[in-house]
Copies of this chain bind each other. A is one copy, B any other.
Amino acid sequence: MRFATLKDGSLDGRLVVVSHDGTRAAAVPHIAPCLLDALQRWDAVQPALQEVQDALDAGSAAGAIGFDPQACAAPLPRSPQWLDGSAFLNHGRLMEQAFNTPPIPDFDTVPVMYQGASDDFLGPHDDVPLPDEAHGIDFEGEYGVVCGAVPMGVSPEAALGCVRLVVQLNDWSLRALGPHEMKTGFGFLQAKPSTAFAPVAVTPDELGDAWQHGLVAMPLHVQWNGERFGEPDGREMNFHFGQLVAHAARTRRLSAGTIVGSGTVSNVARAAGSACIAERRVIEKIDEGAVRTGFMRFADRVRMQAMFPDGREGPFGAIEQRVVRG
């Protein structure tokens, strides 16, 4: 199934089911007014939502409207928790060089993860208001999962069974503020303004063979101001999403609607390009001896869209955002 959330002035927005061809949508207030509500009552509402999906795809859904990604909020405009891993070790190792930080202990056996703000996510076409270009404005293309309720102490395999939806996201970062916050040991806060999401959240079956035991084996195509930036593939993730969710739930239960992110998608092969500027910069330094690329400026744009391995557009839709002075 495919879901999106239309902006309607409320904090949670209005849930719609989206047709597989991406052209039509149907609100389902009689089943669940918002996606968070659907996740809280998943087993009870899932059959009725599937009926709407089937009717939409058959062209017979009552009250169907045209689907407009521009009218979308994030699939969950607010969520109980937003926890972002760094599960592509290639990216993490490059970042250590980029920021000259000490090696993270047990980096290849224990996931690292930060707690982000989850109250104010950006929609796929929302402008990104930020205070200062000198903060090192950067995008980070990622995949993520949305969970049902997860008990404390869950195993990675059981955690994988708690995954309800897969999402595509842009974890906005301010690179000039990150190193100080890392050195405090208290983690990212000012360095991580509101995260943005692609319009459509999908059940894992929508990915077909590209959902590989908790990995999203799809290239994430990233463009900066209309120019190709990279298309790293999610299949090189070193911890699968069940491992990430289990890490998050080791000493706490997770509420339905919790989102867990992969960290920046990153591939070992240089030809794949990157999904964030900081990674490209450190690669330039390593391979060419000097950094050539600056961070984003006000009015810059970024576009991100996952593709299926066979070249078809992915189910999440595109993130297309512009940075503005906040």
Contact = CB atoms under 8 A, between A and B. Distances in A.
Contacts of A326: 152-153
B251 A130 contact: yes
A194 B254 CA distance: 10
Nearest to A187: B187
B189 A80 contact: no
Given A187-B185, A187-B188, A248-B189, A119 B174 contact: no
B193 A104 contact: no
Interface string A109-146: 01011111111100000000111000100000000000
Contact of A250 (B105, B119, B184, B190): B190
B189 A115 contact: yes
A258 B116 CA distance: 13
Nearest to A257: B119
Contact of A183 (B177, B185, B250, B252): B185
A255 interface: yes
A105 B251 contact: no
B83 A189 contact: yes
A270 interface: no
A204 to B, nearest CB: 23
Nearest to A117: B81
Interface residues of A, number: 51
Interface string A220-264: 000000000000000000000000000110111101001000000
Given A80-B119, A129-B152, A114 B189 contact: yes
Contacts of A255: 78, 119-120
Contact of A119 (B81, B131, B188, B193): B81
A87 to B, nearest CB: 12
A213 interface: no
Nearest to A177: B251
A182 interface: yes
A104 B185 contact: yes
A251 B131 contact: yes
B189 A117 contact: no
A180 B114 contact: no
A100 to B, nearest CB: 12
A112 B250 contact: no
Interface in A299-326: 326
Nearest to A80: B119
A50 interface: no
Interface in A62-98: 78, 80-81, 83, 86
Given A119-B80, A180-B106, A326-B153, A251 B135 contact: yes
A152 B325 CA distance: 11
A186 B187 contact: yes
In this complex, the member of A101, A174, A184, A185 whose beta carbon has the largest number of chain B beta carbons within 10 angstroms is A185
Nearest to A131: B153
Contact of A105 (B102, B115, B184): B184
A95 B101 CA distance: 22
A114 B253 CA distance: 19
A136 to B, nearest CB: 11
